[in-house]
Structure 1
Amino acid sequence: MTELYHWFDLIGVAVFAVSGTLIAYDKKMDGFGVVVLATVTAVGGGTLRDLILDVPVFWLHDQSYFVAIFASIFITTRFINKQKSIPYYHLQVADAFGLAFFAVMGAQKALLAGMPATTAIIMGMITGCFGGVIRDVLADNIPMLLKGELYAITCIAGGIVYTQGIAFGIMTEMAMVLAMLTTLILRLAAMKWQLTLHIFKYPD
């Protein structure tokens, strides 16, 4: 089971590293900038989660996360250099997959640390969203978390599915898959149909 969690974590790190690399390309950053942006996107949210939970930061003693990050950077840069362009939609899709993986893994880690369901849902949201927030701030963009289609709410929905699934005795693996699919489908649907949570009335 621990090995399964680790592979899910690595997949989330790799996908978010792709997202950071795409932003670095869009901003015309140099090689160091690419590495920095990909890395903070991949591990930023999980690092903040672990600091809040007062548990060992997940990447400090496990170099496989950096292997996943550098492999993602290498593959993505090779692809972009051949294609010479990358649609913005691809960035959003990569980000949506990373969001789905990390929202659930964050909630799962909080539950293992003995936190209640509400805290686990919040930790899932932080894990999924805050690497992207750091990425966007460094890239001088308004974070996706604060604008556009539903974002953090999709993490919360996935966290609810996961924590309630565990509470009702569903197998952990099944609860994880259902929660990831919930987050991913909601995020992709929000992108496709521009689903937002409006409070203010803005002029057209």
Structure 2
Amino acid sequence: MRNYKDHLIPFNSQIIQALVQLDFLAKDAILFVVDEDEKLVGSLTDGDVRRGLIKGMSTSDPVSSIIQSSPRFLRKGEMDLKKVIEYREGNFRILPILDKSDKVVNVINFRETRSYLPVDAVIMAGGKGTRLKPLTDLTPKPLLKVGDKPIMEHNLDRLALYGIDDFWFSVKYLGEQIESYFGNGEKKNVQIRYVWEDEPLGTI
């Protein structure tokens, strides 16, 4: 999955930089123009660049001179299934996700994601996995591999497929390995936070 920041470009960048990024994005070629605080200013496609050049603009001109100033977007934490369906079925397949301050915090690509569910996911990963000993003597159960990746990564990827991008991992036994493997979620375009159990609490 592509890093969402590949779709962002500062408003004072030159058009030539936009062309380089659009070429890199290939079939996903759309840029979201942001200010110094990464707040959304507009959007930009290769069509916008072509029209600007036809009008006599130079590749050294700023991208702010050719942007679409009213791009469509989704708001993080707000459930609007009607809008999600409308965008999915239309031609708006790549959309920025904004927080309450209009900062771009993610970009959703409906070619890769089936939906957008603005909810948090909690994954319980603190148990010792005693029934899988000796496999779990040195490795926590969530990091045991099924196929080419750990059990827990399958869970995360499946949830991310539906646009969930806020995760809480409840950890204890060998939790350092889990935190080291997943980090803050940046590589997966999600946010991961950790809750460390003081004592085993089990599940409901």
Q: TM-score range by the shorter chain?
A: under 0.3
TM-score by length of 2: 0.23
- Structure number with higher relative contact order (C-alpha < 8 Å, ≥ 6 residues apart): 1
> Greater helix share, 1 or 2?
1
Question: Larger C-alpha radius of gyration, 1 or 2?
Answer: 2
Larger % of strand: which?
2
TM-score, normalization by structure 1: 0.23
